[in-house]
Structure formats: C-alpha cells, structure tokens
Structure 1
C-alpha cells in the first residue's frame, strides 16, 4: 500500500514539475520574443538615422530676402503607399509575411466592430517630415542695393519650407489615427482632408487641390497614385508606391527638389515638365473601393494582394 502511494505521489510530482517547466519555458520565450521585437524596431530606427542625410547649404542674403518676400507654399501629402503601408490584421501580402514588425498598431471601431491595422512607416519618413516644416533662416542687417538697409530681429522666423497638409482618400477614423502617429505631437500637419473631401467620379476618388487653396501657383501634391491628382497634373510630384522595401530612399531623393521649389513663384512652371503627365491613367484609376483600404492598391503587383485587400475596402483609400 505504501509503495502504491509513493508511486502515485511520484507521478503527481513529475507531472507538477513538467507543468511548471512548460509555464516557465513559455514565459522565457515570451520575454525573448518581446525583447527581440524591441531590438528589431530600434535597429530600424538606428539604421534610418545612420543613412545619408540632406545637408542644407546656408543661404545667401539675397536668397533669404527672396524667401522672406514669397508666400509660403502648401505641400499636400498622401498617406497610404506614400508615407506608410498598413495591413489589416490577418490580411498581408506574401512579401510581407515574416517581415519586420510594424512601427505601430492602429485600433479603430468601424460600424461598432473593432478593427486592428499593422502600420509600417516608409524608410526616412520621420526625417522627411521633420525637415520640411522646421527649417529657419535669419535675416540680420542686410544691405541689398536699392532696397536700402533692412534690419530684422534675429529671432524672426523668415520662412519654413512648406505648410504641410494631409489629403487621403481614407475614412477619417483611419486617416486621422495614422496622421496622429506620424505627427507625434509635433503639430506639423496644419490641415487634414479625408475621403469626404474627395471627388468621386467614374468609380474612383480624386483630390481637389482647389479645396485646399485657390492659389494653384503655390500648392502641390505628393502622391503615389496619378489618378488622385488627374485634374491637377501640373501641381503634382509623383512617387513610387511603397509596400515593404527597407532600402527605399524615395523620400530622401525628393529633398533637393523640395528645397529648390520653395523659391519659384509658380510651382507649375517646374512641375509641368514632369514626365508623369504622359503616363496612361485608365488602369491606375480603377475603382478603389474594390481593391483596398488605401485606394492606392491599384498599384499592387499581385491578384492575391488585391483579393485580400477587398476585405479592407471600406476603411482606407
């Protein structure tokens, strides 16, 4: 009898130890996974800020005065596939499976249903957004021929690069959340426009820049979808759609032209020369509601991605 009791106790003891070991192992794996995720996220940030940077050359006194006298221009920026790429949880492109973790997760309620998006930021987007609205030049006792002696207090902010405006065909509940994360409390986006501000024509959404500003000489849009600015081709800077390439440098490559564009009196005099005017648009202007939340999925490279994106069509454009 004693022997049977000892055997029962021994089996119970081994089972308890095994359960405790499994719990301990699961806890260790969870902790390791968490720290691995954090290290990968920090590595991405470090790699981004160790990359090539755009060095602003000091302006001449005449250039400073020119910027002082010109009206600050408006730069309208798209979100999806231009600054970020987001994926509805459970729906991902084949190229993204097993890829880097999202930069942030956005949770919204759509028609009383909780929806969760994993959002990836385009490489260098934080640097890109930080340099555009926060560049200052100082005028200090300039003498410019017939203009006479000009004295300005050294703390006056003469010019910022641009007034930044978000214009997305996404639903506001989604677009506002993404914009808040990108802004990160810096108040760099002066205004925001969403799907309700777009024009719907022939099954697709387009963005009316005249709604943002009636002065079309001082406004332009950065967007990956030509269909979005089809009514304003001379006020657009095209950019390649971004989905997951960690080596992408498109935003950095735009900084020189953005630096120069603020000096012109009419942005159309430069942007009207872009070759994107000759791009055939019909395929790019397919009904966006049928292909993706962002409305930019017309640039997707696979039928599988388009099919999976239909599940997201009511939220993002």
Structure 2
C-alpha cells in the first residue's frame, strides 16, 4: 500500500546521504587543494632560497686577485729575512664572520638570508644552533695572509663557539692553530679587552685586526681597525687590507706605522639590510 509519509522519509534520507557525500567530496577536494598549494609554496620557497644563495655566492665570489707571488728582488728578500715574522691577531664576530642563533630575530640580517654554514654547540646544557655568514673574500684573505704572518684567533666569545667557527674557517689547512677566547680577555667597564702581551711579549711584531675599538683600547698602536660587517655581499674590506698587510710585514716595528692611524671607527648607528 502506498504510504506518502514513508516516501517522504525516504527522500529526506536520500538527500541527507547526497549532502553527506557532497560534503565528503568537498572536504577531500579542499584537502587535496591545500596539499598541492603547500607543495607549490614549498617548491617556490626552495627556488627563492636557492637563487638568493646563488646570488650571494656570486656577489662574494673572488674576482680580484692580489698577486702576492711576484718574485722579490734580492734586496727586498734580504730586508724581509732581516725582520721578525709578524703575528696577526684576528677577531671573529663582525670582523671575519657574523652569526645569529635560532629563536632570536636579528635586525642585522634580513630574514631568509642564507648562511654559509651552521654550527651546533651546547651552552649551559642547552643545544644552540648558529647560522654563520662569512665576510666576503675571507677564505682568500686567510690563504694569502697566512703566508706572511702567524695567524692567531682572539675572540671574546665562548670557547665552545669560537672553536667551532675557527675550525670551519681553517678548513683543515692548519693556519688557525693558536686561539684565545673569552677566558683570556679582561672584563672591564664597557666590555672585554684583549691583552696582546699574553700572546707575545714583543709588541713590536704583533698587530690586531678587530672591528671593536674597545677590544684593543690598551694597545691602540698595534691595532688595524676594520668596519663591522653583518651581511653585505659586496663588502671588500678584507681585500683592501692585503696591500697594506703585505707592506707592514717589512717593518721592524709595526707600531711605527700603526701609531699614525688615529682614526677610530664608530659602531654603525643604523643597520641596513642587504
């Protein structure tokens, strides 16, 4: 017997079933769309990061060579043999490299800027990852000046951090064997100072390359100032120092030259993104 109420109830069930199926299909399509969008976005971000890194590598590529292997005259060779081999003390942060660790948004580096290498150290029982940016031409600079000077790393950073960075910069060449860290500095008002006499008692044959005037306030006549560096891929400060350092190694007393440099480089007041 025909029951209109039963027919109505069956039609309602069919509609609910169709609506349920439609909702399931819609959710499935939405999920697939979101997954595809996520994949496309990840690929896009990877491509952008790749081109950023390639562009920075191109900007920092060593295109200028300092011809340090030109044969010297007998007189110049004799002069060089007559003087002591000099010691060049090198700071790390903002001089040869710049770094920042996870969880801290640094205004000095534009977010998304690719690092040259990363290091992982344990500080106060907590693992910390540092993204390290190398100053342009630092590898070439170290390879050249290591032929002229005994290189010494002197940083106010902790030893666990400074050792890892120095190992990366050395690249197994054995040119950064001597290292001094925060425990070798003197804590004074305004920061850490570095005692050059602890490295070598003869101050006539030692010079320090550092971006912080406070670090060498007790040895201004042994200092070679350099502007602080954070991330500019077009920086050429290290290249510009090569002719000067080439000439400085011929002096009997580095202070006879460096004492003439009365310029004090101020810390940057405004940070620019590169």
Question: TM-score when scaled to structure 2?
Answer: 0.83
User: Which of 15, 29, 37 is residue 25 of structure 1 equivalent to?
Assistant: 37
- Name 1:9's counterpart in structure 2: 21
Query: Residues of 1 paired with 2:254 and 2:245: CA distance?
Result: 10
1:6 and 1:186, CA in 2 relative to 1: closer, same or farther beyond 3 A? farther
Structure 2 counterpart of 1:136: none
Mean Cα deviation higher: 6-15 or 222-231: 6-15
Change (3 A) 1:51 1:167: same
Q: Cα offset for 1:90?
A: 3.8
Following superposition, which runs of at least 4 residues in structure 1 exceed 4 angstroms of deviation? 1-4
1:188 and 1:66 map into 2 onto residues whose CA distance is 24
Extract unaligned runs of 5+ from structure 2: 1-12
Given candidates 287, 301, 304, the residue that maps to 2:269 is 301
Cα 1:212–1:250 change in 2 (3 A) is: same
Residue 87, structure 1, aligned to residue 74, structure 2: no
CA shift for structure 1 position 204: 2.5
Residues 41, 101 of structure 1: 8 Å contact kept: yes
Q: Which has the larger radius of gyration?
A: 2
Deviation at 1:213, TM superposition (A): 1.1
Pick from 241, 261, 273 the counterpart of residue 274 of structure 1: 261
- 2:236 corresponds to 1:224: no
Match status 1:255 vs 2:268: no
Deviations 1:194-218 (A, max 9, x none): 0001122335311111111122221
Matched, 1:97 2:84: no
Find the counterpart in structure 1 of residue 7 from structure 2: none
2:177 equivalent to 1:190: yes
Partner of 1:179: 166
Name structure 1 gaps, 5 residues minimum: 134-159, 285-298, 306-317
1:166 aligns with 2:134: no
1:106, 1:177 within 8 Å by CA — same for their partners in 2? yes
Change in 2 beyond 3 A, CA 1:183/1:93:
same
Q: RMSD across aligned C-alpha pairs, in angstroms?
A: 2.5
**Are 1:127 and 2:140 an aligned pair?**
yes
Aligned length: 258
Change (3 A) 1:184 1:37: farther
Aligned position for 2:50: 38
Match of 2:174, SS? Answer: coil
Shift of 1:238: 0.8
In structure 2, the CA distance between the partners of 1:239 and 1:246, relative to structure 1 (3 Å rule), is same
